[in-house]
Amino acid sequence: MFIYHFHRIIRHRLVWGAFAIAVSLAFLSVDSCYKSSNQAERVAQIGKAPVSSETFATLEREIRGLFPRRRQEAPLTFPAVATQVWQQVAAFQVADELELGASLEEIRATIQESIGATEGYNQQIHQLYQAKLRENNLTPALFEQYQSHLLTLRKLSAILESATWTTPLENEDELAGLTDEMTVRVVAVSNRFAQVQASEAQIQAYFDAHTNQFYLPKRVAVHYVALPVSNYLARVTVTEEQIREYYDDHSEAFTRSNSTESLPLAEARPQIIPLLQHQNAVQAAYTNLVNTFLPMAAQHGPDGFATAAAAFALPVSQTAFFAANENPPGIELGKEFRDAAFELDLAQPDGRFNVVQGQNFVYALTPLAHSPSPAHMPALQEVMDRVRPLAQDKIRTDMFRDDLVTLHTDLTKGLAKNPNITAVAHAKALNVSTAMTFAVHTIYQNPFPNYMPVARAALHLRPGEITEAVPADDDDAALFVYMVARRPGDSLSADMLRPKARASLERIRSIGITTAWMDWNLKQKGLKLHDRMRSQLAAAITSSTAEE
């Protein structure tokens, strides 16, 4: 109901005038992605506006993460992504109607901040920006559009959060939690199941319930040698032509301290020569492996790689199997080494070897005889080292949780008959701490073991009450907090902390309000899926259900 009234309020021009920013969401040469092209295939309609497949693809990529690390850390199912796409399109429509958007200056400032250009934007910073985009396969338009969408959503969220309100009674209750003088006793319980070993049947049951979690993608393993670049530093020379060419291409990188003024060539030379020496050494090591090592390896049949390595006095190392998005341990390169490994093919004469340049080493690699390993759903024994610890952790956690529920029930029943927490706890063979008196807002001045979880648990506890189990600072322990006595704190502290208590409560209240509003807003505007998108979502949901 609150969201409904708030939505009506913010549509009123007089109220919204304090927050509206009269700029178009369009910027640079990038059109708003939620304004669908007539030529693009339509996948849905929100309100009266169509949503194109191009719009969907752009927002899907933003939600999954523009950067590879983000995509790996936060995998989302297609239905979950689609839901967020529809919500964002509907939210952008509201922002567009209310002329709430990101200005060109805001976008520039955000981009500068994202690349560390806090002191201004110059040619060197521009090159860093371009390099970041190339590294992540992004165009400037897409990245700037992403920043615009992000800023717009933040503005909507800030307005929604500013509309949260609390009652005086709630504020006083929060203030009492901070300032009351509390006397508590704590019952600490260790996890007596921490050393329980999972049975083979329990491990099998866990694996059967989480099979999809252990699906193995295509993986490869390689033999490799690492030729140190340092071996060639003393052998290479740097020519005047190289120095001049490097300076002409990178002069903006050599500046005086606290200045954007480029150094003349004579002053930049001492910095350029070591860079070129290292660059030439890398090239020399690479050339030696390509022109000498690989032909020698190719001439000696199946054992050629080991023969060439022995001739170069280099040890042959072996990686474990790794997937296309996994970095083999001990390798300074990431993507380059992985890409080279996945290009190898023992069946092709020219595909048996590869060479990769790094900063400190140049690598020659060849696949193992039984590599690659195709993508497949493994048998339990194949991934036992991954399944066993997860199964044991779940079993131990579940047993401890059930034990804590039983203990809480027994303690509550015991206290109903006898308010002496010590006697009740001792009857269950549990130890009770001595009485501890504190006020939450000053507890950090005289901390005691587990003072933070105790303070959080005691905030709204009344005398004679005991909490359910709360996690202790030790992962294998839990606490029951019993309130012995509670007295109002001094009025001066209460007056000083009243604004802090109100702000804390409003912050807690605002959590989730943006998500709730975006869900409500989408329902108000209405969503109609086109047949192809409806079929795609249905197939994804069916597939997910089958895996579960």
CATH number where 156 lies = 1.10.4030
Q: What's 208-251 look like in SS3?
A: HHCHHHHCECCEECEEEEEEEHHHHCCCCCCCHHHHHHHHHHHH
Of 68-82, 282-296, 348-362, which gets the smallest average pLDDT?
68-82
Whether 316 and 238 share a structural domain: yes
Q: Is residue 377 part of a domain?
A: no
Give the CATH number, domain containing residue 439.
3.10.50.40
Whether 341 and 414 share a structural domain: no
Whether 189 and 96 share a structural domain: no
Q: Is residue 208 part of a domain?
A: no
Whether 230 and 353 share a structural domain: yes
What percent of the chain clears pLDDT 90, i.e. is strictly above it?
A: 43
- The reported pLDDT for the residue numbered 71 is 45
Q: Is residue 62 part of a domain?
A: yes
Whether 102 and 12 share a structural domain: yes
- Per-residue pLDDT of 276-328, as tens digits, reads 999 999 999 999 999 999 999 999 888 999 999 999 999 999 998 888 888 88
Q: At 66, is the pLDDT very low, low, confident or very high (cuts 50, 70, 90)?
A: confident
Of 142-156, 189-203, 294-308, which gets the smallest average pLDDT?
142-156
Whether 138 and 236 share a structural domain: no
Q: At 183, is the pLDDT very low, low, confident or very high (cuts 50, 70, 90)?
A: very high
- Per-residue pLDDT of 95-113, as tens digits, reads 988 888 888 888 878 777 7
Structural domains counted in the chain: 3
What percent of the chain clears pLDDT 70, i.e. is strictly above it?
A: 87
Whether 363 and 227 share a structural domain: yes
Of 4-18, 312-326, 367-381, 485-499, which gets the smallest average pLDDT?
4-18
Cα separation, 177 vs 197, in Å, equals 42
Q: Is residue 382 part of a domain?
A: no
Whether 406 and 358 share a structural domain: no
**Domain carrying residue 344:** 219-367
- The reported pLDDT for the residue numbered 290 is 94
- The reported pLDDT for the residue numbered 169 is 80
pLDDT at 24 over 50: no
The mean predicted confidence, pLDDT, of the chain is: 83
Q: At 3, is the pLDDT very low, low, confident or very high (cuts 50, 70, 90)?
A: very low
**Can you tell me the mean pLDDT for 406-411?**
96
**Can you tell me the mean pLDDT for 211-230?**
90
Q: What's 81-132 look like in SS3?
A: HHHHHHHHHHHHHHHHHCCCCCCHHHHHHHHHHHCCCCCCCCHHHHHHHHHH
- The reported pLDDT for the residue numbered 177 is 87
- The reported pLDDT for the residue numbered 10 is 40
Q: Is residue 471 part of a domain?
A: yes
Contacts of 108 (CB under 8 A, 6+ apart): 121
pLDDT at 69 over 80: no
